[in-house]
Chains A and B, each alone.
Chain A
Amino acid sequence: MSALGHFLETAGIATAGISLVRENTELMRPPRALWVPFELGRPFGAPHAPAFQMRVLLSALALLDRTDGPVILEDFPDDAPESDSTASLVCPVNFPKPPNPDESDLLRAVLAETASLAPWHALFMETHGRSIATVSGLDIDAAARYAAAFLEPRSNPEPPEGRDQASTLRFAIEDLRNWRLEAITAQPGPKPSSKTLADWFWGETATGALALALHPVLLESTSPRLRQVGKGQLVPRAQQHRLG
């Protein structure tokens, strides 16, 4: 982001940016930046908090009226409105997590999980009018079958036409995860925090178990791209303690 600011200004476009990692912004010295103490993925603080989002936006754009640069780095003074970090979630599928799950066990559990959550996902679609679980190019059950196929010995799953095999796998897992988060957040109760949602997905769902089972398989793949997905694009660092 800081590099973009520098290069756009070089080409005559004034910039004001949000900074999520103050230490890195201090080093890179973009012309104007507002550091915000929000979690990664939420540069304007919190969803459905329009007044708070507007304060962040106004604070960032106000830097354009400043003449005391170059290099303005301001701090936004307030933390984001909190989600409920104590809210618990209900996993609708009693998934027993067999000690050595094979592909068919996991796939059956993932498909059952999808079926169980489908009414809640339909409700999410009614209230939000959109889903972000669309990037793999596969419908949600096809995404599960595609991902589970990598657990079969000597398998070589075919991606959709025009898509790359490894990218399709990481996007399939991402779609499965996002679809579940959309469904579970449609259920009644307080809005859970992002950490609660991540812990639920990676610790409690069949799909999380599928993704964790894929990790060692991908690391042993003969495909450099699949190894790359396994190494850094499958399990978040904050959840890697779940790996065996």
Chain B
Amino acid sequence: MVRLSDMTADDAAHLLSKNCPSFPGEPFVAGPPLKERRVAIVTTAGLHRTTDTVFDLTDIGYRVIPGNVQAADLAMSHASVNFDRSGFQDDVNVVFPIDRLREMKAAGEIGAMADFHYSVMGAGWEPHEIEPTALEMAALLHQDNVDAALLVPV
């Protein structure tokens, strides 16, 4: 179990010092039931295929992760040294639940999986700076007929 109260004082203070602007909560996009939705994963874990360019500090671009990606093809180049990597090392699904999503598709609990998932590196930029990247990813998600994104931090 890890909560802020379980962290070192420095780690907790650092997390609470982050710039956290308040968004309006809207729009609040509706859609079909979950079992009819086409779902993509969007992660801020700095994941990418091993053949892709690594993320540099302040890199605000995205990397594309094909839906048929294998665990051995995934690397992580996140700028922060202040989180655990050993879980991801042992099992990618602890960060990027691609196998669980495949199981949900097979069980009919979601309608479909996206052909492509997306990754950004969630450090070194302010919240408003991610807007152009988010809008570009949204356009690509629409082209993939995605109507639900699972957002996963690290």
Contacts and interface: CB of A to CB of B under 8 A. Distances in A.
Tell which of A3, A67, A237 has the most Cβ of chain B within 10 Å. Answer: A3
Count class of interface residues, chain B? 35 or more
Which 6 residue pairs are nearest across A and B when measured between Cβ atoms? Answer: A11-B138, A17-B151, A41-B84, A47-B91, A7-B134, A39-B2
A38 B2 contact: yes
Interface stretch (A25-33, A94-102, A110-118): A25-33
A131 to B, nearest CB: 8
B25 A1 contact: no
Nearest to A127: B90
A43 to B, nearest CB: 5
A13 B149 contact: yes
Given A15-B29, A174-B81, 7 more contacts: A4-B134, A8-B151, A12-B29, A13-B149, A42-B94, A57-B104, A197-B86
B86 A181 contact: yes
A132 interface: yes
Interface string A194-224: 1001100000000000000000000000000
B122 A1 contact: yes
B100 A40 contact: no
B118 to A, nearest CB: 10
B79 A7 contact: no
Given A181-B86, A181-B89, A13 B1 contact: no
B54 A12 contact: no
A194 B86 contact: yes
B57 A233 contact: yes
Contacts of A20: 153-154
Contacts of A18: 150-153
A7 B88 CA distance: 27
A49 B137 CA distance: 30
Contacts of B97: 44, 53, 56-57
Contacts of B4: 21, 23
B122 A13 contact: no
A67 B30 contact: yes
Given A13-B29, A21-B4, A48-B91, A129 B151 contact: no
Contacts of A164: 56
Contacts of B93: 44, 47, 50, 53
